[in-house]
Amino acid sequence: MNAIAPSFPAHVQTGALSIRNLSKTYPLKGRPVPVLQGIDLDIRPGEFVSILGASGCGKSTLLRLIVGLDPDYQGQILLDGQPLNGPGLERGIVFQDHRLFPWMTLQQNIALALKNHDLGTAQKQRLVDEHIALVGLRGYEQAYPHQLSGGMAQRGAIARALVNKPKVLLLDEPFGALDALTRVRLQQELQRIWVQERCTVIMVTHDIEEALYLGDRVIVMEANPGRIGEQVQLELAHPRQRDTALLFQHKQRLLAQLVGH
């Protein structure tokens, strides 16, 4: 289960995620309040899905359920047909805050993700080095997180999530805490990395442009309770240009729909 394929086949076959009638409630003052209701979703292997929604619509909760941090839900989440049971290395996640351990160097942080793999030390080292290079942090291997800028730390978090070669990569507003210029740069980087790795990606965001620029499909989530609204299929090859007319049209339409009446 934990073995890492040396390289991905050109055509990805694993990493299909099926969500069946998923619901989740939180107790609030003793009464259950629905956060997610009747979510049905099928994600193809290697697809990049953006989930777009306002804060509080339950989109981060959805990711926490998929990654296995919260076992308390109704419905089913299947990965390649198998029901999920707790966290596992075939799913990686990047949070809004980098969450690198401050007491470990960048290299140690990334190597930690490989802790439970049956690989030799040299092989692990090679994987860590490759992924540090992949996110463009060569030369910072021995740096502690507090010595890195916000954008660099977030690249480190992406490397940590990818070093396991997960079938599914979950991104929880990964660039939400960064300044606008760094955010744009990292979106491009992420696109380049994804084109190279081609794992299934689910990215949660409230940035319309980001959702459209990266996603093969954009799913709008509605709030109270969180449920799936409109879905936009983007038949546009990666890597993409930001100023494509198609993306611009979708942006105007989604903006009007989400903000204005």
Partner 1 sequence: MKLRNLRGLLLPLLLIGAWELASRQDAAGAYAFVPLATIGDALVELLGNGELLVNLLASLARTSAGLALGIVGGVALGALMALSPLANRLVAPLFHALRQVPMLGWIPLIALWLGNGEASKLLIVSLAALYPMVLNTFEGLRQVDVRHREVGQVLALGRWQQLRLVLLPAALPSIATGVLQALAFAWVTAVGSELFLASGAGLGNLMMNAEAGARMEIIVICVLCIGLCGYLMTWLSTLLARRLLRWRPTR
User: Which residues bind to partner 1, rule: CB under 8 A?
Assistant: 67-69, 86-89, 91-93, 95, 97, 99, 101-104, 112-113, 115-116, 144-146
Q: Which residues lie below 8 Å from residue 174, measured CB to CB, with a gap of 6+? A: 94, 95, 96, 154, 157, 158, 186, 190, 203
Looking at the Cβ atoms of 203 and 208, the one nearer to partner 1 is 203
d(CA 206, CA 14): 28
C-alpha–C-alpha distance, residues 178 and 151, integer Å: 7
Q: What are the residues whose beta carbons fall under 8 Å from the beta carbon of 246, sequence distance 6 or more? A: 234, 236
Please identify, using beta-carbon distances, which residue of 161 and 208 lies nearer to partner 1.
161
Shortest reach from residue 101's CB to partner 1, in Å: 6
Count of beta carbons in the 10 Å neighbourhood of residue 190: 25
d(CA 79, CA 87): 12
> 3-class DSSP state for residue 227?
strand
Spatial contact of 168 and 79, defined as CB atoms under 8 Å apart: yes
User: Minimum distance from CB of 133 to partner 1 (Å)?
Assistant: 21
Name the residue nearer to partner 1 (CB basis): 33 or 69.
69
Q: What is the chain's alpha carbon radius of gyration, rounded to the nearest angstrom?
A: 18
- Of 2 and 21, nearer to partner 1 (C-beta) is 2
Q: How far is the CB of 27 from partner 1 (least distance, A)?
A: 18
Smallest distance, Å, CB 170 to partner 1? Answer: 9
C-beta of 26 vs 248, nearer to partner 1: 26
Q: Which is nearer to partner 1, 170 or 234 (CB)?
A: 170
Q: How far is the CB of 146 from partner 1 (least distance, A)?
A: 4
Helix (H, G, I), strand (E, B) or coil at 123: helix
Q: How far is the CB of 147 from partner 1 (least distance, A)?
A: 8
